[in-house]
Chain A
Amino acid sequence: MTAPMTEGWPASAAAAARIATERYGPPDEASHNTLIWHDRAPWKRVVVSRTMVPHRFPREHLDVVRHVVDHPVPADRIGDLARFSGSVVYDRTRGELSSHCENEEGNILALNLAHDVVAHGMDVESARRRCHEAIETRDSPDRDPYLDALTFEPGHAPDPDEATIDGDLQDRLRQALGATDHKS
């Protein structure tokens, strides 16, 4: 169904687009580089890109599909989140957490472990180990359930921060600029 939209795309990206379309229907938005699905539970957004990004963790693959959820990340857990995986991205203002991987199960796994790191204090080494083991055993009877479904409930979590420009600052700057302009 996505074939005309992904014409000329690398095979891995086109396959990710086809799988997403089979699961979620036609994309809501499309360009020659990107397909986007909005509000496909449990996802806030699914994005498949023509551009493939080499990623070596937990083993070598190409990042082609991104899954996005609403999820808060405490400030003191952001460093550990970065150490867990460079393909898990936090957007603080939007309150969005996303994972970019070769397929949906990889993103489910990464987001479940990211949740454990940021919400339950799982240490980074344990999260990376479980990620590796889950991928290595995904076709075995010991398949990790973290590959199959989110273990948490996404929650609205934007962080708009706070205003630091107040009337006093504007007055002081206006006076300073006025003085500068007068001198020049």
Chain B
Amino acid sequence: MKFGVVVFPGSNCDHDCYHVLKDALGQDTAYIWHKDRSLDGCDCIVLPGGFSYGDYLRTGAIARFSPIMNEVEGFAKKGGIVIGICNGFQVLLESGLLPGAMRHNDSVKFVCKFVNLKTENIDTPFTNRCNKGQVLRIPIAHGEGNYYVDDNTLKALNKENRIIFRYCDKNGEVTPDANPNGSLENIAGIVNKPGNVLGMMPHPERCSEPVLGFVDGKLIFESIIGWLRKR
């Protein structure tokens, strides 16, 4: 089993993802440069957070045309496991692998803090180690995480259980007060229709070791490892 962490110019959570997968979880992990044209036999691709191409034009809009993204799209369409975190989520939206788009946070501020996430669907490669409705404590750090999608797609996302995480309070209640950025229906993470591509704004790689205070992020990486092992 091998993990690949894509490195775009301006990625800044690539090392964190690599460290968690390689050192904290003991997985074979490689960096993949954005100009590469091979995924090097990886079973799971991580699109990390950061500011790819300086967030110029729109977040993720230019990274989405990196040579490696052709490979990632082909891999995803064949059922390969892809997780996009923060800027990685924005790249997935721009590439059309996930529906919707990000607006500026409703506060127009960069928000960097721990939030609570309600796990809405545990029948996925990314959440199978969680309990239904489990509240995960994971940090966010973004200026453009205000998720938007048209009404029909939003209905489909709900109907098909594709909204995986919603911002909630500490008791798991999904309330307007718990929404840090204005996202429609408190959406923090979604999957594509077949369920093999996840985009999430919070950063699980920043809370996967006891030394960092919280370890809930590890559940997501362990879910992927467990799922790949079973396959």
Is the pairing of A and B real? no
Q: Report which A residues bind B (CB closer than 8 A).
A: none
